[in-house]
């Protein structure tokens, strides 16, 4: 199938993505998760989203369509979460071609079409509430819901070729264009979570209608376009509890220097702006995104890929914020918010920046997210979730802040994260490769089969065999290739050292610097085999000393996986906070197929600080460490809280 493309030129994209169905996981880590998504996550989520106690329910759409009776229930953003579920199902259908999924989506699309007003407007929380009017409060999340509808419709059209969902989306986009294109002053501050920017670009790429790209650019321009009106005492003039930085509204994006405010709205804005840059090539926009990326990833991002440090706080410009970035190097562990949607938002933004720049640093962050903070929200059986993702947990003694939970849940008061996880897993095969005029770029490693065409239309087929991320040996076998020379670009992860490459068993003298792409250019023939070895010793990493919450602590990693210590794996009576590790600790890795869905565990020896957490005293004398070594077993962070409610920590103090 052809490379994912559009009906127009893409002036600023260095890399294109492979087409629908071009990449199929064959076995291993991502094949297992795609199967879990297909067989368990999506069906289980369907059940949850028909539970009246859940905050996201399809019933609102049925009521708005006149097909059921009732009142709106759940959150203002319930519709958007339903559309994310539909997007996930469409991604799965693009691989499986299961007719039941196709039929289920068509039935839902019919409901959505009937729920849509004649002028194109659709948001059930406003349509079904006589006390609400259109475009009165940003927190009604109208544009968030509409953006996810447009993205889901774009995916559906791309994988099916049908126009039934696309027709709903273009009718909606036409309505939005007529409303917002004149830039009415009363809507200058409008918009909460800007999925609408990505959604409009998605529609532009499917239809070629330039108005949708124009409107996406307008929504980017609106953020921070006017100083937020404040009273002399510094309180918001408008009836809005979240002024300014909370939604990136204090400074125009092109002038911004830092990641601020609500991290989901931030990463969605940055991802949408990257989409706009891809189509326009405006350098000032890219410059801003690169500045903000540097701030976020070098000063505000956790080792697990999350970056929403704060449940509540104050921005650098003194606005009240929540679900937000902290100050530089402010990365608390037990109180880390790290909302799932925000963490995955980092990967969505990074994936777009990778397309634009072909710079491996963006792929490194995408990988950091998808193996750690992007998977930690979901239980290993695919049925239960977390909203927040802390890096330390004190068991049932942990005070619960907003959206925290001691145990994973099936339904919840804010259900935006489960469909975010589902649609990410369902489309991960589309993130594995990139294509340029004369090269195939290997971004993510996993056992798969690629059957695609190069940018100039030549056929290319290869098979990737690997047990990554548990094993760093990768084998690529060419089955069909163009006769003319082209390059295979192998990503050398930033965490790796001493990578080795071979072709047909012979070592290749290629540049393999960490955090780069190694170039292998030649005329390839069927049967050629590329070998890549990425050594995976367990290693201890430290945070910048300015991160006070992790000073004199280490996190243990192996390959892209961040590990954690659970009290479940400690002797009875030993608490996670009593464990220290020596600077010269030696670690061994063992794969356990029966543990937590099959994981590689890391084992070593720590030391026990006797009586370290047995007192309620705020301060106490230093205790002696035990002379006896303490056997330790660490598990991947993403798999924590699947064996009861444990104490857990990613960061371990040095002794």
The domains found in the chain, sorted by start residue, are 29-222 (no CATH), 433-533 (2.60.40), 540-653 (no CATH)
Question: d(Cα 240, Cα 423) in Å, to the nearest integer?
Answer: 31
Please report the pLDDT score of residue 176 as a whole number.
Answer: 98
Please report the pLDDT score of residue 177 as a whole number.
Answer: 98
Lowest-confidence region among 87-101, 292-306, 317-331, 611-625: 611-625
Q: Taking 70 as the threshold, does the pLDDT of residue 272 lie above it? A: yes
Question: d(Cα 362, Cα 231) in Å, to the nearest integer?
Answer: 41
* CB-based contacts of 131, cutoff 8 Å, min separation 6: none
Confidence of residue 620 (pLDDT cuts 50, 70, 90): confident
Q: Taking 80 as the threshold, does the pLDDT of residue 376 lie above it? A: yes
Question: What sections of 162-262 are H helices per DSSP?
Answer: 164-180, 195-207, 210-222
Helix/strand/coil for 473: strand
Stretch 416-425: mean pLDDT, rounded? 98
Please report the pLDDT score of residue 4 as a whole number.
Answer: 46
Confidence of residue 270 (pLDDT cuts 50, 70, 90): very high
Under 8 Å between Cβ of 443 and 366? yes
Structure tokens belonging to residue 456: 């100039």
What is the full DSSP assignment across 112-179? Answer: HHHHS-TTS---HHHHT-TT--TTS-GGG-HHHHHHHHHHHHHHHHHHH---HHHHHHHHHHHHHHHH
Question: d(Cα 590, Cα 636) in Å, to the nearest integer?
Answer: 12
Q: Taking 50 as the threshold, does the pLDDT of residue 41 lie above it? A: yes
Under 8 Å between Cβ of 517 and 489? yes
Q: Which residues pair with 592 in a beta bridge?
A: 599
The closest of 382, 419, 385, 422 to 405, measured between CA atoms, is 385
Q: What is the residue-averaged pLDDT of the chain? A: 94
Stretch 285-305: mean pLDDT, rounded? 98
Lowest-confidence region among 129-138, 288-297, 486-495, 541-550: 129-138
Stretch 320-333: mean pLDDT, rounded? 96
Question: d(Cα 250, Cα 227) in Å, to the nearest integer?
Answer: 6
Q: Taking 50 as the threshold, does the pLDDT of residue 1 lie above it? A: no
Lowest-confidence region among 42-56, 182-196, 197-211, 539-553: 182-196
Under 8 Å between Cβ of 274 and 245? no
Task: Give the percent of the chain with pLDDT over 70.
Answer: 95
Q: Taking 70 as the threshold, does the pLDDT of residue 19 lie above it? A: yes
- The per-residue pLDDT for range 498-521, each reduced to its tens digit, is 999 999 999 999 999 999 999 999
Please report the pLDDT score of residue 5 as a whole number.
Answer: 42
Q: Taking 90 as the threshold, does the pLDDT of residue 233 lie above it? A: no
Confidence of residue 255 (pLDDT cuts 50, 70, 90): very high
- The per-residue pLDDT for range 144-167, each reduced to its tens digit, is 999 999 999 999 999 999 999 999
HSE-up of residue 304 (Cα within 13 Å, Cβ side): 36
- The per-residue pLDDT for range 551-600, each reduced to its tens digit, is 999 999 999 999 999 999 999 989 999 999 999 999 999 999 999 999 99
Lowest-confidence region among 7-21, 39-53, 81-95: 7-21
Q: Taking 90 as the threshold, does the pLDDT of residue 46 lie above it? A: yes
Q: Taking 80 as the threshold, does the pLDDT of residue 239 lie above it? A: no
Give, in order, the Cα–Cα distances in Å from 608 to each of 556, 575, 617: 18, 9, 19
Confidence of residue 7 (pLDDT cuts 50, 70, 90): very low
Q: What is the pTM of this model?
A: 0.95
The closest of 251, 283, 281, 280 to 269, measured between CA atoms, is 251
Structure tokens belonging to residue 442: 């290997």
Region class of 408: left (phi > 0), else alpha (psi between -120 and 50), else beta: beta
Phi, psi of 159, deg, nearest 5: -90, -20
Stretch 49-65: mean pLDDT, rounded? 97
Higher pLDDT, 615 or 61: 61
Confidence of residue 265 (pLDDT cuts 50, 70, 90): very high
Element (H, E) at 554: strand 553-558
- The per-residue pLDDT for range 94-144, each reduced to its tens digit, is 999 999 999 999 999 999 999 999 999 999 999 999 999 999 888 899 999
Strand 439-442 relative to strand 486-492: parallel, antiparallel, unpaired?
A: parallel
Higher pLDDT, 186 or 103: 103
Question: d(Cα 46, Cα 59) in Å, to the nearest integer?
Answer: 12
């Amino acid at each position: 199938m052809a490379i994912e493309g559009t009906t127009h030129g893409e002036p600023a994209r260095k890399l294109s993505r492979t087409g629908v169905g071009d990449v199929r996981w064959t076995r291993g880590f991502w094949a297992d998760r795609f199967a879990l998504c297909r067989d368990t996550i999506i069906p289980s989520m369907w059940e949850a989203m028909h539970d009246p106690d859940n905050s996201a329910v399809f019933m609102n759409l049925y009521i708005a369509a006149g097909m059921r009776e009732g009142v709106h229930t759940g959150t203002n953003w319930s519709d958007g979460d339903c559309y994310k579920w539909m997007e996930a199902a469409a991604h799965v259908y693009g691989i499986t071609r299961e007719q039941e999924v196709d039929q289920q989506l068509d039935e839902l699309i019919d409901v959505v079409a009937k729920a849509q007003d004649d002028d194109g407007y659709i948001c059930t929380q406003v349509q079904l509430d006589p006390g609400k009017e259109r475009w009165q409060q940003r927190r009604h999340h109208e544009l968030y819901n509409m953006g996810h509808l447009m993205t889901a419709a774009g995916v559906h059209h791309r994988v099916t070729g049908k126009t039934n969902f696309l027709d709903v989306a273009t009718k909606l986009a036409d309505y939005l264009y007529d409303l917002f294109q004149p830039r009415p002053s009363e809507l200058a501050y409008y918009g909460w979570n800007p999925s609408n920017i990505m959604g409009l670009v998605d529609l532009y790429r499917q239809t070629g209608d330039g108005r949708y790209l124009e409107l996406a650019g307008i929504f980017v321009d609106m953020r921070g376009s006017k100083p937020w009106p404040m009273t002399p005492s510094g309180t918001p003039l408008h009836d809005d509890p979240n002024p300014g930085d909370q939604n990136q509204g204090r400074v125009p994006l092109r002038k911004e220097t830092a990641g601020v405010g609500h991290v989901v709205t931030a990463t969605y804005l940055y991802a949408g702006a990257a989409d706009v840059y891809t189509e326009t090539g405006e350098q000032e926009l890219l410059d801003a995104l690169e500045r903000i990326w540097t701030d976020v990833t070098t000063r505000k991002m956790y080792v697990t890929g999350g970056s929403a440090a704060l449940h509540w706080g104050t921005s650098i410009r003194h606005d009240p914020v929540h679900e937000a970035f902290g100050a530089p190097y402010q990365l608390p562990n037990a109180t880390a918010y790290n909302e799932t949607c925000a963490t995955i938002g980092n990967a969505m933004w990074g994936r777009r920046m990778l397309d634009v720049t072909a710079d491996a640093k963006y792929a490194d962050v995408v990988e950091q997210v998808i193996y750690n903070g992007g998977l930690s929200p979901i239980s290993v059986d695919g049925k239960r979730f977390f909203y927040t993702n802390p890096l330390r947990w004190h068991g049932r003694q942990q005070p619960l802040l907003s959206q925290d939970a001691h145990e994973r849940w099936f339904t919840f008061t804010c259900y935006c994260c489960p469909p975010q996880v589902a649609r990410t897993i369902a489309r991960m095969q589309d993130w594995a490769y990139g294509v340029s005029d004369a090269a195939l770029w290997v971004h993510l490693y996993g056992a798969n089969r690629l059957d695609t065409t190069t940018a100039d239309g030549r056929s290319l087929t290869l098979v990737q065999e690997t047990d990554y991320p548990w094993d760093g040996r990768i084998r690529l076998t060419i089955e069909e290739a163009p006769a003319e020379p082209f390059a295979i670009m192998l990503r050398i992860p930033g965490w790796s050292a001493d990578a080795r490459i071979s072709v047909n068993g012979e070592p290749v003298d290629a540049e393999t610097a960490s955090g780069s792409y190694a170039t292998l250019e030649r005329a390839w023939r069927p049967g050629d085999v590329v070998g890549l070895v990425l050594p995976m010793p367990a290693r201890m990493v430290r945070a910048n000393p300015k991160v006070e919450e992790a000073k004199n602590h280490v996190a243990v990693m192996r390959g892209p996986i961040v590990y954690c210590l659970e009290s479940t794996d400690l002797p009875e009576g030993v608490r996670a906070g009593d464990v220290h590790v020596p600077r010269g600790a030696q670690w061994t890795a063992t794969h356990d197929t029966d543990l937590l869905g099959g994981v590689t565990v890391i084992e070593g020896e720590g030391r026990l600080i006797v009586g370290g957490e047995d007192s309620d005293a705020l301060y106490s004398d230093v205790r002696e460490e035990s002379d006896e070594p303490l056997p330790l077993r660490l598990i991947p962070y993403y798999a924590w809280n699947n064996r009861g409610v444990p104490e857990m920590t990613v960061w371990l103090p040095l002794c």
